[in-house]
């Protein structure tokens, strides 16, 4: 347990993720989507390999008993990355960030359906309320009367892409939970990057561009920031309970607002403020409820005493 270290790691991860999103938005005007996905994943492998080599975990990162499980997660994740980056090309950063924060709520529903986890009325209520917040944020983008011409389709597509991204992120979390039964954290991180890089590379025949030096720096940067963010996120859970660390995800909303305003002049609408408050509140309630259930299970085990042998 090292709560201060866990908090610092998670806060840095949230900041790096927001910087990555800003860089994606910066290059998306001229760079094909598949090329951005490839650079995000390929250049993320560099810090991943260096850090795991330094820690002596490189061999463990390549070792796997479930290659098809990694392939399934990779396919889900690369789809989510495409949708997320497509949304960032069409909507303000804070809008996309907030909509994708519906992912933990969707994870609750998918866990009940796929993993057969028991979900009680409290968490189902939080999920329902959270989706009300999502609808509040989505509604202006789906109201095409607010836009004209290409702006209408861009806003609508961006909102839909962000929502689909939230679903794929939740599906990726569920698949990751399955993999953690047998796979190491290092192998999950490494194969995620490898399969997503391959997915982006498959778009090469559809036309990539030769980026300028400035664009290339942004493409390399978004990959490195994405890789480091993933590593720091994973490391933060080593030093403190998930129920303490997970709420810090929502600091990404602050950075999304700052970076969006500073670099792109994006100012969130009232519906974004209202919707984000509803979604964040619902997500925090789910996290709090998970902690309460964990404490109840711990007390039940303590009351039952150690198992007796025969």
Q: H-type helices in the chain, by residue range?
A: 3-27, 33-54, 58-62, 67-88, 93-100, 103-113, 121-142, 150-179, 185-201, 213-239, 242-245, 251-264, 270-304
Mean pLDDT by 10 residues, the chain (310 residues): 81 92 92 95 90 85 88 91 93 86 75 70 77 76 56 75 88 79 82 92 93 95 91 79 69 87 85 80 73 68 60
Q: Note if the pTM is more than 0.85.
A: no
Please tell me the predicted confidence (pLDDT) of residue 3: 76
Q: How far apart, in Å, are the Cα atoms of 144 and each of 47, 154, 157? A: 43, 10, 11
Query: Nearest-5° angle of CA 221, CA 226, CA 228?
Result: 95
In this structure, the number of other CB atoms found within 10 A of the CB of residue 102 comes to: 27
Query: For residue 297, what pLDDT is reported?
Result: 64
* Predicted local confidence at residue 310, as pLDDT: 41
- The predicted structure's pLDDT at residue 15: 94
Tens-digit pLDDT profile for residues 126-147: 778 877 877 777 777 665 555 5
Neighbours of 284 (CB within 10 A): 16
CA distance to 84, 119, 122, 295, per residue, from 300 (Å): 41, 18, 20, 9
Would you give the DSSP letter of residue 248? G
* Per-residue confidence (pLDDT) for residue 149, from 0 to 100: 54
pLDDT for 17 equals 92
Among 151, 58, 157, 165, residue whose Cα is nearest residue 106: 165
Q: Residue 113 corresponds to which tokens in the numbers above?
A: 């359906």
Which residues, in sequence order, are CB contacts of 259 under 8 Å at separation 6+?
18, 19, 21, 22, 93
Query: Per-residue DSSP letters for 59-127?
Result: HHHH--S-HHHHHHHHHHHHHHHHHHHHHHTTS-HHHHHHHHTTHHHHHHHHHHHTS-----HHHHHHH
Residues 177, 115 contacting (CB under 8 angstroms): yes
Which residue bears the tokens 């809008």?
Answer: 95
Distance CA 286, CA 275 (A): 17
Contact 154, 88 (CB under 8 A): no
| 222, HSE (Cβ side, Cα atoms, 13 Å) | 24
Domain ranges of the chain: 3-301
Residue 167 CA to residue 156 CA, distance in Å, equals 17
């Amino acid at each position: 347990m090292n709560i201060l270290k866990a908090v610092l790691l998670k806060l840095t991860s949230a900041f790096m993720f927001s910087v990555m999103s800003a860089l994606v938005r910066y290059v998306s005007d001229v760079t094909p989507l598949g090329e951005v996905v490839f650079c995000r994943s390929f250049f993320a492998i560099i810090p991943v390999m260096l850090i795991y080599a330094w820690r002596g975990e490189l061999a463990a990162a390549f070792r796997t008993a479930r290659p098809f499980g990694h392939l399934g997660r990779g396919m889900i994740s690369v789809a989510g990355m495409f949708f997320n980056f497509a949304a960032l090309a069409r909507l303000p950063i804070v809008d996309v960030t907030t909509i994708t924060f519906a992912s933990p709520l969707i994870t609750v529903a998918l866990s009940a359906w796929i993993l057969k986890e028991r979900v009680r009325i409290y968490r189902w209520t939080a999920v329902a309320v959270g989706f009300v917040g999502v609808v509040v944020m989505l509604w202006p983008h789906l109201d095409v009367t607010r836009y004209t011409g290409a702006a209408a389709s861009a806003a609508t597509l961006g909102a839909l892409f962000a929502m689909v991204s939230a679903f794929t992120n939740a599906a990726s979390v569920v698949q990751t939970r399955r993999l953690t039964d047998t796979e190491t954290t290092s192998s999950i991180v490494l194969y995620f990057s490898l399969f997503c890089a391959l997915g982006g590379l498959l778009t090469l025949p559809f036309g990539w561009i030769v980026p300028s030096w400035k664009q290339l720096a942004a493409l390399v940067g978004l990959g490195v920031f994405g890789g480091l963010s993933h590593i720091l996120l994973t490391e933060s859970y080593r030093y403190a309970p998930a129920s303490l660390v997970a709420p810090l995800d929502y600091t990404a909303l602050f950075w999304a607002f700052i970076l969006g305003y500073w670099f792109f002049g994006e100012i969130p609408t009232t519906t974004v403020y209202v919707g984000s408050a509803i979604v964040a509140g619902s997500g925090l309630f789910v996290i709090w409820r998970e902690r309460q259930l964990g404490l109840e299970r711990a007390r039940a085990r303590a009351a039952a005493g150690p198992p007796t042998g025969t």
